Amino acid sequence: MNRNGQLAAIVLIAAVAGGCSIKKMAVNKMGDALAGTGTTFEADDDPDLIGDALPFALKLMESLLAESPRHAGLLLATASGFTEYSYTFVGQRAERAFTENVEQSKELRARARRLYLRAHNYGMRALEVRYPGFGAALEKDPATALARVRKRDVALLYWTAAAHGLAISASKNDPELIAQLPMVEAFIRRAMALDASWNEGSLPEFLINIEASRSGVKASEVQAHIQSYYDQALSLSGGRRASLFVSYAENASIPAQNRAQFQEMLERALNIDPDQRPETRLATLIAQRRARWMLGRADDLFLTASAPAGKEN
């Protein structure tokens, strides 16, 4: 029997004697493939096409996780996929619908909240796989639990925190969930300690949103912290992340009622050429879509036609 025949015989015997093992191996291989599809999606130039495709991809991931529930890579991909889909294609739709159909906006917001919580659950499951006992330890002593997380899992910390933070943002009438905001910050602080430069400044950009959500803090202090995180993220990204300018306009320029700065930030986002960096094309296009929407609402967001320019950024 030649080598190929021997291999075929081995595979046949394995399939007969251990069908479950072969099935699980196939599921894990497919899980590996799906966990690596992010780059394909992120290079796309049609956000709506991706928005239509993602639900099927996410349900496929969930079906694979039912067969292989401890596949850490697939758990991370599912957490990040649900977070991105929910924010871009459900949460932002809820915001846009608010001025036209309040009931529809509420329904979309509630759906987004449920999906964020689902994403958060997948992130926590992945952390439990990586660090057994993580969930219980987090409830007892968050600092000690997070200290176990290593640099390889910065993305996991980020997406778990993002899903958690967005769920809180969509839960204005849930004080129990709102009280969990410090945990979101703790995840990002740990990620920053491990790799502050991860994903070209995504971590300090995240902290801009955290600062903007603080209550009981002087506006001047919040603005100073936001400026510091913005400067750090700008340096790390080289000004290539459109979402950074949108985040600053939303969280710093609007509260300060600085319309000139608001317009400048959003124009900087719109001036980025998505095709210069295909690997982030989709994220750029999505951020630019939000920038255009915000510019169109400027008269509703600012009390006066113009505002004094702030410090140069």
Residue 218 lies in a domain: yes
Phi-psi region of 215 (alpha: psi -120 to 50; beta: other; left: phi over 0): beta
Residue 20 lies in a domain: no
Domains: count for the chain: 2
Q: Say what the pLDDT of residue 172 is.
A: 84
Instruction: Please tell me the number of Cα atoms within 13 Å of 242 on its side-chain side.
Output: 24
Domain that holds residue 212: 196-313
Q: Say what the pLDDT of residue 35 is.
A: 62
Q: Say what the pLDDT of residue 27 is.
A: 64
Q: Say what the pLDDT of residue 9 is.
A: 42
Q: Say what the pLDDT of residue 39 is.
A: 56
- List the CATH number of the domain containing 307: 1.25.40.920
Q: Where are the alpha helices (DSSP H) in 131-180?
A: 134-140, 142-147, 154-169, 175-178
Cβ proximity of 22 and 263 under 8 Å: no
- Looking at residue 249, the DSSP 8-state letter turns out to be I
Q: Say what the pLDDT of residue 23 is.
A: 57
pTM (2 d.p.): 0.88
Q: Say what the pLDDT of residue 215 is.
A: 83
Instruction: Please tell me the number of Cα atoms within 13 Å of 90 on its side-chain side.
Output: 23
Q: Say what the pLDDT of residue 29 is.
A: 65
Q: Say what the pLDDT of residue 244 is.
A: 98
Cβ proximity of 268 and 288 under 8 Å: no
Cβ-count burial 273-287 (b if 16+ within 10 Å, e if not): ebeebeebbbbbbbb
Which is nearest to 93 in space by CA: 286, 255, 311? 286
Which runs of E-coded beta strand occur in 191-230? none
Query: Do both 149 and 184 map to the same domain?
Result: yes
Count of CB atoms situated within 10 Å of the CB of 102 = 10
Query: Do both 143 and 109 map to the same domain?
Result: yes
Mean pLDDT split into 10-residue runs, the chain, 313 residues: 43 44 62 61 93 93 92 94 96 93 95 98 98 97 98 97 97 90 97 97 97 90 96 97 98 97 98 96 97 97 64 47
